[in-house]
Structure 1
Amino acid sequence: MADSPAPADQPGHDRTVEDGLLPPELRAWMQLLAAAGAIEQRLRSRVKDALGVTHDEFLVLCLLADQPGAALRMSRIAEALGRPKTRLTYQIACLHHADLVTRRSVCGDKRGIEVALTDKGRQLLREVSPTLAETVTEAVQHMVDHRQCETLRGLLPGTADTAGSDTAQRCDSDHRK
């Protein structure tokens, strides 16, 4: 037993990222979460100023906007956004009060409610989306350096070993800005 190496948690053993404490996928996931958090922080005040809604309400609007001409059930919205249904009910009520969404009962299901964007909601999103998209781009460029971009690329199918891919070129050009 005297020959056994010192346990990893002993003083003098420096366990670094290179030791493989986290696999590349988890490291990339953590960086993705950090980047998403930074984007969310930057968007919060801009969303409130531009739309007069909270960030979570903005996410509901974006989800609905991605369903042109279609309504979504509240249960599906809650599932897609990972939000409790009770919290979503309040958010939908606020959006309805602002005339940004409509609510209606689902035919044949007295408990089911469908939500859709109003024309006012669509127009407002159309007007502010370019500014908010620019905010996202700026946040990503600020948060993700070249090394992180390489790590995140590992999460994208078909890009890990393809240095010449569109994603790789986009990462490289974004980093040089």
Structure 2
Amino acid sequence: MADSTAPTDLSDLPEPSGEQPSGCLAGDSGLLPAELRAWMHLLAAAGAVEQQLRARVKDALGISHDEFLIVCLLADQPGGGLRMTRIAELLGRPKTRLTYQVACLQHAGLVTKGSVCGDRRGIEVTLTEKARRLLNDASPPLAHAITDAVTRALGPEQRAALCGLLPGIADDDQQPAESPDRSAP
């Protein structure tokens, strides 16, 4: 599959036809219930964002998109570090693949690896100052690319379709923030 910075065209995905009282979107335009249709819209939007970011991340940071995800995870940590096993869990990646990606980041001078205190088998990955500087410089245009991709990929109807993932979300918008236990039926 060729890399493209053009946003994904979502016109092939069915549009919702209206709302049901439960907050789900109606529409018998296919076999999929609103939740699955919304999930497909979400995946398509995520694909559009990835397409926008792939080339930009490579140009700005000199790393792959998958390596960029690791850098972002680490940047979002208060201490700047995470155990390898936790990174693998959060990204849904096999540990062997993650080991290779972290080695590439380490070779580029963007992360360091160290043992976890009290666990000689545990490895913690931490961002370097170089990575922090590069990410700080690259973040504004990358954030703009994400906004642009989502705006182009999802029209108003498709954004509404995402409510199908959480049928009660429309009802929750009507309730005050201090509402009691929302987990109760």
TM-score by length of 1: 0.77
Decide which of 149, 170, 182 is 1:160's aligned counterpart. 170
The letter for the 2-side match of 1:54 is S
1:64-113 Cα offsets, whole Å, 9 max, x none, are 00102242000000000011100110111111111111100112322210
Q: Partners of 2:157 and 2:102 in 1: how far apart?
A: 40
For the residues of structure 1 that align with 2:140 and 2:159, how far apart are their CA atoms?
24
Equivalent pair of 1:102/1:116 in contact (CA under 8 Å)? yes
Question: Does the alignment pair 1:126 with 2:136?
Answer: yes
Task: Tell me which residue corresponds to 1:150.
Answer: 160
Mark the CA change 1:73 to 1:157 in structure 2 (over 3 Å): closer, same or farther. farther
SS of the residue corresponding to residue 67 of structure 1 reads coil
Larger of the two Rg values belongs to structure: 1
- Residue 145 of structure 2 is matched in structure 1 by 135
Cross-structure match for 2:100: 90
Q: 2:52, 2:149 within 8 Å by CA — same for their partners in 1?
A: yes
Quickly say closer, same or farther: Cα 1:52–1:160, change in 2 above 3 A: same
Cα distance between partner residues in 2 of 1:117 and 1:158: 39
**8 Å Cα contact 1:44-1:55 kept in structure 2:** yes
Aligned to 1:78: 88
1:104, 1:114 within 8 Å by CA — same for their partners in 2? yes
**Does the residue aligned with 1:21 lie in a helix, a strand or coil?**
coil
**Higher helix share goes to which structure?**
1
8 A Cα contact 1:72 1:116, kept in partner? yes
Secondary structure in 1 aligned to 2:109? coil
Residues of 2 paired with 1:119 and 1:28: CA distance?
Answer: 40
Which residue of the partner structure matches residue 9 of structure 1?
none
1:135-168: CA deviation from partner (whole Å, max 9, x where unpaired)? 000000110011101111343586424789xxxx
Compared CA separation, residues 158 and 125, structure 1 to 2 (3 A): farther
Matched, 1:113 2:113: no
| Residue 52 (structure 1) aligned with residue 62 (structure 2) | yes
User: What is the rounded CA distance, in whole Å, between the counterparts of 2:159 and 2:112 in structure 1?
Assistant: 40
Q: Percent identity?
A: 67
- 2:152 aligned partner, one-letter code: H
- Distance, in Å, in 1 between the alignment partners of 2:51 and 2:166 is 24
User: Could you list the runs of 5+ residues in structure 1 that have no partner in the other structure?
Assistant: 1-16, 165-177
**Larger relative contact order (Cα-Cα within 8 Å, sequence gap ≥ 6):** 2
* 5+ long unaligned stretches in structure 2: 1-26, 175-185
2:18 maps to none
User: For residues 88 and 25 of structure 1, what CA distance do their matches in structure 2 show?
Assistant: 31
